[in-house]
């Protein structure tokens, strides 16, 4: 296990807003940003678009994420192919992966449902760690609010996996 490297990741999924209630479906984007804790820098970034097998991209989803059905049709690949690229470019079981919340569970469950091997082993939930570090016992806090609370400027469009992973990596460098 390489304890000097952490791969921050963010998932975007098909989503709908019906009668004020949000629901999500399959993964359509995976953003990654790897940090070197020893050098205290972001060393690698990537963005992968995933073609959903059953879900469609709603107008609400496009508005929220900026991901259109056309973009997925042109640039998306099956989740299994994306997983192979992730392992090749970022490593599998030898890296620690971190997200804001339990994206690891969502990721693992979708892979299981699609019969895809899930080679990632170590995960850090930075939202839980942040709440512990800041003694926020019962209070939830969003990624952007947490980042701004420690005076790290948010960059880019929120709800873009690529942007969110990059911002999470900046926060991880302060937290870890």
Residue 9 burial (10 A CB sphere; 0-12, 13-18, 19+):
buried
Q: What is the pTM of this model?
A: 0.95
End-to-end CA distance of the chain: 16
Architecture of 5-175 per CATH? Answer: 2-Layer Sandwich (3.30)
| Domain boundaries defined on the chain | 5-175
Contact assessment for residue 143 and residue 166, using Cβ atoms and an 8 Å cutoff:
no
pLDDT digits (tens, 9 = 90+) for 147-158: 999 999 999 999
Q: Which ranges of the chain does DSSP label H, i.e. alpha helix?
A: 59-65, 69-75, 79-90, 103-113, 126-133, 143-149, 161-175
Q: How many CA atoms lie within 13 A of 118 on its CB side?
A: 16
pLDDT at 49 over 90: yes
pLDDT digits (tens, 9 = 90+) for 51-103: 999 999 999 999 999 999 999 999 999 999 999 999 999 998 999 999 999 99
């Amino acid at each position: 296990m390489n304890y000097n490297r952490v791969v921050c990741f963010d998932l975007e999924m098909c989503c709908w807003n019906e009668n004020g209630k949000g629901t999500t479906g399959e993964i359509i984007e995976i953003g990654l940003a790897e940090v070197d804790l020893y050098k205290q820098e972001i060393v690698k970034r990537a963005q992968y678009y995933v073609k959903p097998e059953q879900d469609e991209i709603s107008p609400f989803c496009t508005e929220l994420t900026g991901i259109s059905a056309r973009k997925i049709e042109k640039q998306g690949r099956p989740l299994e192919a994306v997983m192979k690229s992730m392992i090749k470019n970022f490593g599998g079981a030898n890296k620690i992966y971190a997200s804001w919340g339990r994206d690891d569970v969502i990721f693992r469950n979708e892979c299981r449902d699609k019969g895809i091997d899930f080679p990632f082993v170590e995960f850090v939930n930075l939202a839980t760690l942040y709440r512990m570090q800041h003694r926020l016992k019962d209070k939830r806090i969003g990624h952007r609010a947490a980042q701004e609370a420690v005076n790290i400027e948010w960059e880019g469009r929120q709800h873009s996996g690529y942007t969110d992973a990059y911002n999470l990596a900046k926060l991880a460098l302060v937290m870890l």
